[in-house]
Amino acid sequence: MMIGITGASGPLGRATAELVLQAVDPRDVVLTSRRPEALADFAARGARTRHADFDDAQTVRTALAGVDRLLLISTDAIGSRLDQQQAAVSAAAEAGVSHIAYTSVPAPVPANPALVVADHAGTEQALRESGLRWTMLRNNLYAHLQVSVVERAIASGRLVTNSGSGAAAYVTREDCAAAAAAVLTRDGFENRVLDITGPEAVSALDLLRLARGIGGRDVELVDADDHAFALGLKEAGLPEPFSELVTSFGASTRGGFLAHVSGAVAELTGRDPKRFEDVVRAAGKS
């Protein structure tokens, strides 16, 4: 069986490719990227590396020839990637792919205010309607992206949040990669929706306790509404689209859409996912 990974030069793609190459014959692995030259190290180990850009469906059809099971990594063109990803699903089907695993988001429902939801919901729908087998890998928020929240709180003595009393089951990118690699290399995950989460849901109060514990100082919790929170991020120098995105994840957390903790990482990988506290403490040592 030939295994494929799109977007294989990105951090998640590379980490997944690494694990897949440890599990199967590299000649049975097709890695695609807009920049296949960035995959030269994998090619040197025997993997087939090919050019594919979702903006050009013909490149996807050509690159995926012979692939049976594919990890389709969502692109970073938030808000404009639905067309790209629908085209990629169609092109993969035309190329003869039989099973697609897709990196989605938890709770891709209209009520979820996270700005990424529409792209992911639309792509999940395209997969369900494609006639192919699918696996939804609904990755929670990456844990490493939250480390700076704790670090800023320690530095400033204030933890500003718009997530209220909500919590999110932050997961490491390494655990997302291990879960994806398992779906690619083992049978039995067809037509399953898998929430890829850390081992616990982490609230702003948990972040506060962590900041106080690690920083050894008092840290004040500041509850902000979405408008004030987004404004604060913009004033701190974040580009507007990014501050809107981060604010929407806070609102999503507040609404409970990111709180579900699943056993999927343990089921897929045979080991527990990494705890958020351990991620933060390890970042402080590096």
Ligand X SMILES: NC(=O)c1ccc[n+]([C@@H]2O[C@H](COP(=O)([O-])OP(=O)(O)OC[C@H]3O[C@@H](n4cnc5c(N)ncnc54)[C@H](OP(=O)(O)O)[C@@H]3O)[C@@H](O)[C@H]2O)c1
Nearest in space to 54 (alpha carbons), one of 83, 78, 30: 83
Using the rule CB under 6 A, is 7 a contact of ligand X? yes
Residue with Cβ nearer ligand X (105 or 224): 105
Segment interacting with ligand X, rule: CB under 6 A, options 50-58, 89-97, 161-169, 264-272: 50-58
Does 198 bind ligand X (CB under 6 A)? Our answer is no
By CB under 6 A, tell whether 250 contacts ligand X.
Answer: no
**Binding residue for ligand X (CB under 6 A) from 70, 71, 73, 153?**
73
Among residues 3, 4, 6, 28, which is the contact residue for ligand X, using CB under 6 A? 6
Q: Are 139 and 196 in contact (CB under 8 A)?
A: yes
Q: Which structure tokens are listed for 168?
A: 């999110």
Q: Which is nearer to ligand X, 144 or 152 (CB)?
A: 144
Whether 190 and 133 have beta carbons less than 8 Å apart is answered as: yes
Please report how close the Cβ of residue 273 comes to ligand X at its closest, in angstroms.
Answer: 13
Size of the site for ligand X (CB under 6 A): 26
Say whether residue 34 binds ligand X (CB under 6 A).
yes
What is the spatial distance between Cα 196 and Cα 199, in angstroms, rounded to a whole number?
10
With respect to ligand X, which residue has the nearer C-beta, 23 or 145?
A: 145
According to the binding rule CB under 6 A, does residue 141 interact with ligand X?
A: yes
Among 49, 86, 103, 172, binds ligand X (CB under 6 A): 103
* Nearer residue to ligand X within complex by CB, 77 or 214: 77
- Of 130 and 223, the one with the shorter C-beta distance to ligand X is 130
Among the residue ranges 74-82, 106-114, 157-165, 232-240, the one whose residues contact ligand X (CB under 6 A) = 74-82
Least distance between ligand X and beta carbon 71 (Å) = 10
Query: Rounded to an integer, what distance in angstroms lies between the CA atom of residue 10 and that of residue 17?
Result: 10
Q: Which long-range contacts (CB under 8 A, 24 or more apart) does 43-48 make?
A: 45/21, 47/17, 47/21
276 binds ligand X (CB under 6 A): no
174 binds ligand X (CB under 6 A): no
Are the C-beta atoms of residues 136 and 128 closer than 8 Å to each other?
no
Nearer to ligand X, 145 or 282 (CB): 145
Q: Are 102 and 72 in contact (CB under 8 A)?
A: yes
Residue range at the interface with ligand X (CB under 6 A); choices 10-18, 161-169, 233-241, 277-285: 10-18
CA dihedral of residues 4, 9, 12, 17 (deg, nearest 10): 40
To which residue do tokens 């990594």 refer? 73
Establish if 84 lies at the interface with ligand X (CB under 6 A). yes
Q: What residue ranges bind ligand X (CB under 6 A)?
A: 6-13, 33-35, 53-55, 73-77, 84, 103, 139, 141-142, 145, 173
